[in-house]
Amino acid sequence: MKIALAQINYHIGNFKSNIEKITNAIKKAKSHGVDLVIFAELAISGYPPRDFLEFNDFIEKCNAAINKIAKDCEDIAVIIGSPTFNSAIEGKPLHNSAFFISDGKIQYEHHKSLLPNYDIFDEYRYFEPGKKFEIISLKGKKIALTICEDLWNIGNDPLYTINPMDEIFKHDPNIIVNIAASPFNYKQAEIRKSILIKNVEKYKLPLFYINHVGAQTELLFDGGSMVINKKGEIIEELKYFEEDFIVVDTKKLNINPDKEIKTQPTKIELINNALVMGVRNYFQKLGFKKAILGLSGGIDSAVTLAIAAEALGSKNVRAVLLPSAFSSDHSVNDAKKLAENLACEYEIISIEESYKSFTKTLLPQFKNLPFGLAEENIQARVRGVILMALSNKFGYILLNTSNKSEAAVGYGTLYGDMNGGLSVLGDVYKTEVFELAKYINRNAEIIPENTITKPPSAELRPDQKDSDSLPDYDILDEILYQYIERRKGPKEIIAQGFDKQIVKKTLKLVNTNEYKRYQTPPILRVSPKAFGMGRRIPIVAKYLSR
């Protein structure tokens, strides 16, 4: 039997586009003499559809799309994911389902059993778990059809009380098919492979795995669909961060052809590729072409500009230099050099007169109080006003350039440098931003070396450096990683050798600045624990905030 995997970049709620891509893949599969073509979890709707699932009209459109696709399934079978109505009175109103279609008709409807409800996942909000564990038959093969999480309850620390594959295995299947929507983080590909191979080793069955690819706002899907033979060998692996299509003959599953061993990408390469895809898809799916950002001469805006230029094309990214009296000449020169290296349009708009106008207006209220945080934030907000004005006037999306370290400790100005339609680096720690800059410069100096080597500074007061207010980033980022990603408490972090006062101050800053993060633009998720939908912290709380 010939089986095809169709790895597609879906668009949530764009039924016309999704149907077209699916039917084109079916036609391609037919031309290759394929018996079965497999598409991803919730392919029809896109993933995650979130509260669109609360609209009956949305589910009815999904059903109509499935029926339309079924008409193209003469002489070929299809497995595809879609939300469906729950016909039972009891339970949630929907199922997360996989359809098996052949002979132009829906032959079987399988419902996902294990519904993740942690981190970025919220499936139990909408779906009722499936409770039937059956197989489907095609061309003499018995297929164990599973949906994403249904294969993940394996190992010594199970999250659920049931393992769907154990139940299906009782029906003596020949092949496992897993349709998935597994979002990217820089660790996920290796974790995913390990989980899938554990299933193959346990059940001694070949496995066909299909994933989403593409960005859905902050969630990034890296693809990496694969076929694993019953020996646990990955005999086919689809591209990462790109659409792809392969055909595999089940007769040749145990023949592992001599292939060039793929070089495993580094963490920073993965993050770079994910961010480029994330920016590109965000603009494509919203129907925008051009971006704008404030270019300070610092490393964060430099890396953001380089990523945006790769994602959108240099001609579609406009850099605005917004110097004040505290901006150094080398920062302006570094910014200009970067824009020229990338062939991006840039211009210089001084904020000095606007800043003086605000301080003059506020003079009666400020009186003779000394220069301080208020004046620093006025500068950042003047820049934000100018950038948003240009965004409104010319239809740009403003890219936010704040990094995860700054966002974590509140080192940014609301309605100023925290403005934007998309946060590119909001899940990238400052130390990782430096690594990204070096990666971008791997073949030639694109980001000026001075931008990388000079001490980071907001340049909002004379001789200001980030280290005046924050611990060195090497220390700060490790403390933040232990607290945010690993959920370690202060005692555990201090026991690792970190200074007690620095730990307490850092965690207090993180928790007391949740109100700022609540108002930031969507953050492209590249880590196992990003700010946003996957981290839900109360604002008016007292934990570690004293």
Q: Write the pLDDT tens digit of every residue in 397-445.
A: 999 999 999 999 999 999 999 999 999 999 999 999 999 999 999 999 9
Number of domains composing the chain: 2
Q: How far apart are CA 421 and CA 256, in angstroms?
A: 46
Look-up of token digits 């016909």:
87
CA distances from residue 39 to 7, 171, 301, 428 in whole angstroms, order as listed: 7, 24, 38, 31
Choose the final residue of a domain: 466, 488, 516. 466
Choose the final residue of a domain: 426, 445, 466. 466
Q: Determine, yes or no, domain membership for 118.
A: yes
Instruction: Indicate if 243 and 343 belong to the same structural domain.
Output: no
Instruction: Indicate if 282 and 420 belong to the same structural domain.
Output: yes
Choice among 159-173, 326-340, 367-381, 479-493 with the minimum mean pLDDT: 326-340
pLDDT-derived band at 465 (thresholds 50, 70, 90) equals confident
Instruction: Indicate if 286 and 237 belong to the same structural domain.
Output: no
Instruction: Indicate if 370 and 457 belong to the same structural domain.
Output: yes
Q: How far apart are CA 133 and CA 165, in angstroms?
A: 8
Angle at 149 between CA 42 and CA 195, to 5 degrees: 125
Instruction: Indicate if 114 and 183 belong to the same structural domain.
Output: yes
- Whether residue 528 is preceded by a cis peptide bond, meaning omega within 30 degrees of 0, is no
Instruction: Indicate if 89 and 206 belong to the same structural domain.
Output: yes
Q: Determine, yes or no, domain membership for 534.
A: no
Which pLDDT score, from 0 to 100, does residue 240 have? 97
Instruction: Indicate if 209 and 282 belong to the same structural domain.
Output: no
Q: How far apart are CA 87 and CA 38, in angstroms?
A: 25
pLDDT-derived band at 260 (thresholds 50, 70, 90) equals low
Instruction: Indicate if 447 and 307 belong to the same structural domain.
Output: yes
Q: Determine, yes or no, domain membership for 481.
A: no
Instruction: Indicate if 346 and 318 belong to the same structural domain.
Output: yes
Q: Determine, yes or no, domain membership for 129.
A: yes
pLDDT-derived band at 455 (thresholds 50, 70, 90) equals confident
Q: Determine, yes or no, domain membership for 258.
A: no
Q: How far apart are CA 278 and CA 218, in angstroms?
A: 7
Q: Which CATH number is 376's domain given? A: 3.40.50.620
Instruction: Indicate if 221 and 333 belong to the same structural domain.
Output: no
Residue span of the structural domain in which 354 resides: 269-466
Over pLDDT 70: what percentage of the chain? 98
Q: Determine, yes or no, domain membership for 164.
A: yes
Q: Determine, yes or no, domain membership for 399.
A: yes
Give the residue from 421, 164, 137 showing the smallest Cα distance to 287.
421
Instruction: Indicate if 159 and 301 belong to the same structural domain.
Output: no
For residue 40, pLDDT beyond 80: yes
* Residues sharing a CB contact under 8 Å with residue 502, sequence separation 6 or more, in sequence order: 471, 475, 479
CA distances from residue 285 to 11, 77, 107, 333, 425 in whole angstroms, order as listed: 7, 30, 33, 35, 20
Which pLDDT score, from 0 to 100, does residue 458 have? 65
Instruction: Indicate if 280 and 375 belong to the same structural domain.
Output: yes
Choice among 65-69, 377-381, 462-466, 497-501 with the minimum mean pLDDT: 462-466
pLDDT-derived band at 55 (thresholds 50, 70, 90) equals very high
Choose the final residue of a domain: 466, 490, 505. 466
For residue 257, pLDDT beyond 60: no
Q: Which CATH number is 172's domain given? A: 3.60.110.10
Q: Determine, yes or no, domain membership for 518.
A: no
pLDDT-derived band at 59 (thresholds 50, 70, 90) equals very high
Active centre residues (catalytic):
41, 112, 148
